[in-house]
Structures are given as structure tokens and as C-alpha cells.
Amino acid sequence: MRQIKHLFIFSALVLLMGFSFSNFLGIYHQTILALCGINIILAVSLNLVNGFTGQFSLGHAGFMAVGAYVSAALTTLWLPTLTNPFLMTEIGVNLFFLFALLAGGIAAGLTGFLVGVPSLRLKGDYLAVVTLGFGEIIRIFILNIEPIGGARGLIGIPQLSNLYWIFGFVLLICIWIHRIVSSIPGKQFMAVRDDETATSAMGLSTTRIKVRSFVYASFFAGIAGGLFAHYIAYLNPATFNFNYSFQIVAMVVLGGMGSLTGSVAAAILLTGLLEALRPLQDLTGVDLRMVIYALTLIVLMLTRPEGMFGRHEIWEFFKKFKKSPQGFVR
Amino acid sequence: MKRFNSSLAFLFLALAAVGCKQKNQNVIRVGEFGSMTGTEATFGISTHRGIKMVIDDVNKAGGINGKQLELISYDEGGKPEEAVTVVTKLIAQDKVDIILGEVASSRSLAAAPIAQRNKVPMISPSSTNPKVTEGRDYVFRVCFTDPFQGKVLARFAREDLKAKRAALLIDKKSDYSVGLADFFRKTFESLGGEIVIEQNYAGGDMDFKGQLTSIKSKNVDVILHSGYYTEVALTMKQAKDLGIKTVFIGGDGWDSPKLSEIGGKAIDGHYFSNHYSVDDQDPRVQDFIKRYKALYKEVPDGLAAMGYDAALVMVDALKRTNGQVGPVFRDALAATKNFPGVTGVITIDENRNASKPAVILKVQGDGSYKFVKRVNP
């Protein structure tokens, strides 16, 4: 019964968000919201690795690229060759899109597994460098595949993604990750973060735990990539360079390592800020956006080095909890 | 807690993006998007300067049919996804009537579907990839395409250099390079020439001695190097070391000050095709160069000239519609015929591409280009 109730609340929420966003906002604000939503998924999923498991990954954009290209290749190259009449209908196309998204996510998760198994035996700086390298390898690999556009980019992707899809996945993934980190395997992630030696002394395989967290994160990044590809309707390997990975890391650090709502807030802030500052260009004549963007990061990091929310979730501030529900004192 | 509140307040402030602008009937809104920052910042800045010159000229002269032009430019930092956001903003928020942009084909390809969907005419100053305008009746360009450039080079090699046997050196990673070489081959062979050898490399390579040695043994009259300036300069240097005296020819990918910086004296005597030449004695060109120099204190590069021409073609079409925009303007734009621009006489063909001359330039050892000839389509 409880599940049905939750499912009902969830669908109502998605419909409400999708409906209000698509009907009361112009396409420009919708585009910004869509990008916010995609960045939320990326930040929240990276938080699983960087925040909750304490492993520093710098290759998130690479996994997003895998998901984006796999799903876009399915809908752009494979879908038009299928002759099943069901796939011509609105429902059929959307179901195929869901399938493509999941396929992209699974491909990204698989890549995450292949990258994670050798590299997650490393720690700290070494892991950061290795993931950075893998992220670039994935991008260069895509750059050399001719059928999906190579350096020119993949054109003609059907615009299937919309705010219903994006915010449906945002809600689903946020809830999913929240449930992961509140479960026993999630506690294992945090155990690895807090004391790896103690965790392995307890008889747990820390590498396995780290790989699991990494695969989850890559899977979600792949979904975000699929949503991105079908919203922008054009893919270019240059989009997924390490700058994008850094941006996602900035969101996680700014929001607070280990705070899901922090990542959500930071993703909205950083995505929205750059767009909100555009009018400034009209007033001053020079593009000050990146200067202010960088200054915001510096000021926030100096005043709150632990990130906006630290390790807390937003509701903990309102309930004035001394202890977080997870049971550890910060 | 206090800090937390202030950061929340900041968040909402950032989210409160500005509202819609009022639509003024007596103004024609022109939107421009380009890379004013990022690795290709000079592309966007040069193009913007060229466009701004035209807009200011028109407004000083009283506008078009009493209507002033308003230029709204946004920077997308060279990122395709940001090009999508700013073009959406131009159309939805700023309600522009015409869009000018972009230099790089990747950003034009990202933005063109949006312009097409909203039926806002878009003019790309210098995206040469054929796919940009393909199947989109609201997307135009004022530059030639890669196929045309391949043809021009083949004719120049065959008719002016009297070459019979040619070698191809192709960057397999670049769409531009592969396409250019393909079209060169077709025309060159149809004119009775022969492609003796084809060698490949990947953009970013530093060593071309292997490819050059194979080419040397074939005793060719001309070598087509269809890549970008960095590899071109390195190849020429190594060719000189190997004692190869064959002439190199190539496309507009050569056009950069870096060519002589890297290549030094080795680049002397080779030819490439480009959009315009600063040595062109045409009074229109010289006048443009003089005014550009006075305004911005530097010699305009090809992209500035293309931006200038894109805006000129737009103004010309607007004059013919008496300042009316929308579908009427689109039709006028499509009917552009024999328009005298700085980069040559521009005619928009049925595929919304510009049919216009290319210039052949000879590279000098000191890094300057000597105007050789103009090749008409």
C-alpha cells in the first residue's frame, strides 16, 4: 500500500512540475531548467563517488558522453530503420526513448565498471589523474568513430526529451540515491570514506564497495547524457571535455561533499548563475560572467570551505537536528 | 544558519532571470552569437567587429525605411550546448528577427535546427560544412562550401600550375580535410589530371617524414595538403629538409599567423585558397580595410570580412523588403543575386549557399600573402 501511495505522489509531482514548467515558462527558461535538471543528475550522482565514498573522480563527463552517444545512436541511426508500426505511434517512440536512455545508462555503467576495476585500487591524487585520463580517452575514442559523426558531431537527433522526462528522472534519481546512501551498502560507502583501513579490517572488500559506487554514478551520468543528447538534439565530442567534468566537481564541492540537496542547490546555482549574469554584458559591454562565476566560487569556498550544506541535507537545517538521521555527528 | 540563509537568498537572486523585453515596432532586432571567449575567441571577436561596422553605418545613415537596427550579441564560449541556450534566448526573450552566426560549423549545426523550428532566418558568416544549410529553408550562409573550395583548388592546380600528377595529404580526423580532398580529386581527375598517391595523418601529428618520403618517390607536380595550419607548417618544414621542391596547395584552413610562426622560411612559395585578400586592389576591399584599421587598429582577417559581408547581405535584403521581416525577408534573402561584398560578388543559390569567388594566395617567406587570382564559380 505504501509503495502505491509513494508512486502516486511521485507521478503527481512529476506531472505538476512538468506541466507548470512547460506551460508557464518561455522556451528559453525551459532550456535553462532542462540544463539545470541534467546538471542536478550529474552532480548528485558524482556526489555518490566524491562525497559519500570519498574517492576523487574527475572523469564524469566521459561517462555522460557514453550514455549520450549510445542513446542518441539508437534513436538517430537505429530507430528510423525499424518498421514496426507500434514504433510510429507517440507512445511507441517514447517507450523506445526510455529503452535508449536505459541502454545509454547501462553502457555508461559498464564503462564505469571497466574503468573502475583497475583504477579504484588507487587513492586520492592518483585516482583523480587516472579518471581524468579515462574521461579523455572516452572522448577521443568517440571522436574517431565516423558513423556517429566523428569530429563534426552527431546531427539529426530527434528531440524526444522534455521537462517531464528530465524532472521525472531528477526526482527518481535523487530519491534512488537517497535510498542507496541510507541503506546498508550506502553505509559501506561512508565507511570507506571515513576510514578505509578500518573498513577492510571489518572484512569488507573496499575495492568492491568503491567499484559499486562508481558503477552507480556512471549509470546515472549515462542517463543524464541521454537526456542531454535528446534535448539539445546535437552532440559534439568537444562538449564532454575535462572542463565539463571540473564543472560537475565544482557543483559537488560547492554544495557540500555528502549532501544531496547541497548538490541540487549548487547545480541550480551554477547553471542559473551564468545565464542570469547575461544582462550584465549589455550593461558593461564586456563579458564579466566568467569573472563573477569564478569569484563566486572563491568567496563561497573561503566562507564555507565545507560547501554550502556541508554534509547535511536541507531539511536538517529546518528541524535543527544536532545529529543527522544517518547517526553520525559532524 | 545566517550564512546559509544568505546563500539561499543568493540562489534565488541568481534564478530571477530578467523578464521579456518589449517588442518595438520601429526597430529591427538582429541577434548575433559567437565565441568571444574560449579557445577560438579571435573568431568571434573578428566577426563581431565586422558585423558591428555595418550596423553602425546603417543606423548613422538613418536606418532602413526609418527603422533602426539593434544588434544583440551573446557569447557562447565556443560550446555547442551554450549556442543552443543563447539562440533560444535570442528567439524567445529578445524576439530577434534575424540571427547572424556562427563561424565554426559545430555551433552552427547546433543552432540551425532552433532557428529553423522557429522560422527565424539565420545567416552564417563562415561555416563551410555542407550540412549546415542542408534541408533548412531558413538557414543561409555567405561563404563558399568545402566542395567548392576543392573544385577551385583542382582547377588552379590543373590550369595555372599545369600539374598532371598530384599527391594528397589528408587529415583523417577532420571532416573538413577529408571532404576537401574528395572534391579536389573529383575535379582534378575530370580535368585530365591523375592522383598518383594518397597519404593520411591524424590531426596533432608532428612527424610527416614517412608520408613525404613516399610522395617524393612518386615524382608529383603538386601536393594537396587539406589540413590545418599547424600540421601544414610542420609538413613544409620537413619537406624542405628532405629536399622536396614540389609546390603545396591547400584550403582556408591554412589562414593563420601561426603558419609562418611555425613554418618560418619553409612556407615560401606555396598556394592556398581563401575568402578574401588584403592585397585585393578593389576599392571596396581597400575602403573596408582602411576603415577597419582606423576603428580597431589592426588588419582585418578573413573572418572579420565574412562578418562584414554577412551583415551587408542582410541589410541588402532588408532594403528590398523595405524593412519588413519574417517570411518576406527570407524570400528576399534567398533571392540575393550578384551582391558586391568585400569577399566577392555573392549570389545565394537554391541550397541557400553562397556562390561566390575564392581567391588564391601565395604564401611569402615573411608570413604575408600575395594575391594571385580570383576564381569565379
DSSP state letters, B323-351 = T--THHHHHHHHT--SEEETTEEEEE-TT
Residues of B in contact with A32 (CB under 8 A): 17, 85
Per-state percent for chain B, helix, strand, coil, to nearest 5? 45, 20, 35
A96: cell is 523506445
Q: Looking at chain B, how many residues does it have?
A: 377
Report the candidate in A38, A50, A67, A46 with the shortest Cα–Cα distance to residue A138. Answer: A67
Strands, sheet with B68-75, edge to edge from the N-terminal-most edge strand: B68-75, B27-34, B98-100, B122-124, B139-141
User: Which residues of chain A are at the B interface, by a Cβ-Cβ cutoff of 8 Å?
Assistant: 26-29, 31-32, 35, 143-144, 150-153, 155, 228, 232-234, 236, 238-239, 265, 268-269, 272-273, 275-276, 278-279, 281, 287, 289-290, 300, 303-304, 308-309, 317
Q: How far away is chain B from the Cα of A198, in angstroms, using its nearest Cα?
A: 34
The verdict on residue A30 lying in a domain is: yes
Residue A261 lies in a domain: no
Within 8 A of A303 by CB-CB distance, chain B residues are 3
Residues found in chain A = 330
Q: Does A234 contact B84 at a Cβ distance shorter than 8 Å?
A: yes
- Provide the 8-state DSSP code for B172: T
- Nearest CB neighbour to B131, from listed A155, A233, A281: A155
Instruction: Give the alpha-carbon dihedral of B87, B92, B98, B103, to 10 degrees.
Output: 0
Q: What mean pLDDT is reported for chain A?
A: 88
A279 contact residues in B (CB cutoff 8 A) = 18
The answer to whether residue A74 sits within a structural domain is yes
Distance (Å) from the C-alpha of residue B281 to the closest C-alpha of chain A?
Answer: 35
Distance of residue A299 Cα from the nearest chain B Cα, in angstroms: 11
Q: What pLDDT was estimated at residue B262?
A: 87
| A41, A173, B88 from A217: Cα distances, Å | 10, 10, 31
* pLDDT tens per residue across all 377 residues of chain B: 444 445 444 444 444 433 344 556 789 999 999 988 877 778 888 999 999 999 999 999 998 988 999 999 998 888 888 999 999 999 998 999 999 988 888 899 999 999 999 999 999 998 888 889 988 999 999 998 888 899 999 999 999 999 999 999 998 777 788 888 989 999 999 999 999 999 988 877 889 999 999 999 998 999 999 988 888 999 999 999 999 999 999 998 888 777 888 888 899 999 999 888 888 888 889 999 999 999 999 888 888 999 999 999 999 999 999 988 989 999 999 999 999 999 888 999 989 999 888 899 999 888 888 888 888 87
Residues of A in contact with B74 (CB under 8 A): 278, 281
Q: Which residue has the cell 562565476?
A: A293
B17 → closest Cβ in A29, A236, A239: A29
Give residue A76's domain range.
Answer: 2-241
Predicted interface score ipTM higher than 0.95: no
Among B13, B85, B94, most A C-beta atoms within 10 A, so best to mutate, is B85
The answer to whether B133 and B140 have CB atoms below 8 angstroms apart is yes
Domain boundaries, chain B: 27-144+282-356, 147-274
Instruction: Give the nearest partner residue to A152 out of B37, B113, B129, using CB atoms.
Output: B129
pLDDT confidence bin for A17, thresholds 50/70/90: confident
Residues of A in contact with B16 (CB under 8 A): 276
**How many domains does chain A fold into?**
1
Q: How far from each other are the two terminal CA atoms of chain B, in whole angstroms?
A: 70
Q: How far apart are CA B15 and CA B144, in angstroms?
A: 42
Whether A43 is in a domain gets the answer yes
Distance between CA atoms of residues A118 and A111, nearest Å:
12
Residue-wise pLDDT tens digits, A79-120 = 888 888 888 888 899 999 999 999 999 999 999 999 999 888
Question: Contact at 8 Å (CB) between A64 and A224?
Answer: yes
Q: Which of B310, B319, B339, B329 is nearest to B50 (CA)?
A: B310
Distance from CA of B320 to the nearest CA of A (A): 30
- Which triple of cell numbers denotes residue B291? 576603415
From chain A, the residues in CB contact with B15 under 8 A are 268, 272, 276
The CATH architecture one would assign to domain B147-274 is 3-Layer(aba) Sandwich (3.40)
CATH 3.40.50.300 corresponds to the domain B27-144+282-356: no
Q: Is the peptide bond before B102 cis (omega within 30 degrees of 0)?
A: yes
